[in-house]
Amino acid sequence: MSQLRFLVHGLSRLGLRSKVWVFSMFAVVVLFTTIGMLVVDDGAVQSLNDAWDSTQSSAKTVGESDVVVMDSEPRPAEDSKSPVNGFSGKGEVKDNYDDNDGNLHDNGGEDNTPIRAAFILQARNSDLKRIVDTVFTMEERFNKAHNYDWVFISDMSHSSSFQRTVSRLASGNVLFHKIDRATYLSFPSGINRAEVSRHRKLLRMKSSDSQAKNDNQRHFNKFWSREIFNMDFLQDYDYYMRVNPDTFAYCDFTVDPFEYMKKMEKTYMFTFATSHSPGAFPTLWSSVKNYIEENPDDVDPDHLLDFVSDDKAESFNGCHFRSSLEVGNLKFFRGEKYQRLAKFLEERNGLYYEGWDESTIRTIGVTLLQSREKLQFMNNVGVIDKSLKNLNLNQCPKDIDIRLRSRCTCNPADDITWSKESCVSRYYEVNGVNLPKEAGD
Positions marked active-site: 326
- CA-CA distance, 138 to 407, in Å (whole number)? 14
How far is C-alpha 305 from the geometric centre of its chain's CA atoms? 21
**Are 164 and 199 contacting, i.e. CB atoms less than 8 angstroms apart?**
no
- CA-CA distance, 301 to 245, in Å (whole number)? 37
Q: What is the layout of strands, in order, in the sheet containing 393-395?
A: 247-249, 383-385, 393-395
What is the SS3 string spanning the chain?
Answer: CHHHHHHHHHHHCCCHHHHHHHHHHHHHHHHHHHHHHHCEECCEECCHHHHHCCCCCCCCCCCCCCCCEECCCCCCCCCCCCCCCCCCCCCCCCCCECCCCCCECCCCCCCCCCCCEEEEEECCHHHHHHHHHHHHHHHHHCHHHCCCEEEEEECCCCCHHHHHHHHHHCCCCEEEEECCHHHHCCCCCCCCHHHHHHHHHHHHHHCCCCCCCCHHHHHHHHHHHCHHHHCHHHCCCCEEEECCCCEEECCCCCCCHHHHHHHHCCCEEECCEEECCHHHCCCHHHHHHHHHHHCHHHCCCCCCHHHCCCCCCCCCCCEEECCCCCEEEHHHHHCHHHHHHHHHHHCCCHHHHCCCCHHHHHHHHHHHCCCHHHEEEECCCCEEECCCCCCCEEECCCCHHHHHHCCCCCCHHHCCCCCCCECHHHHHHHCCCCCCHHHHC
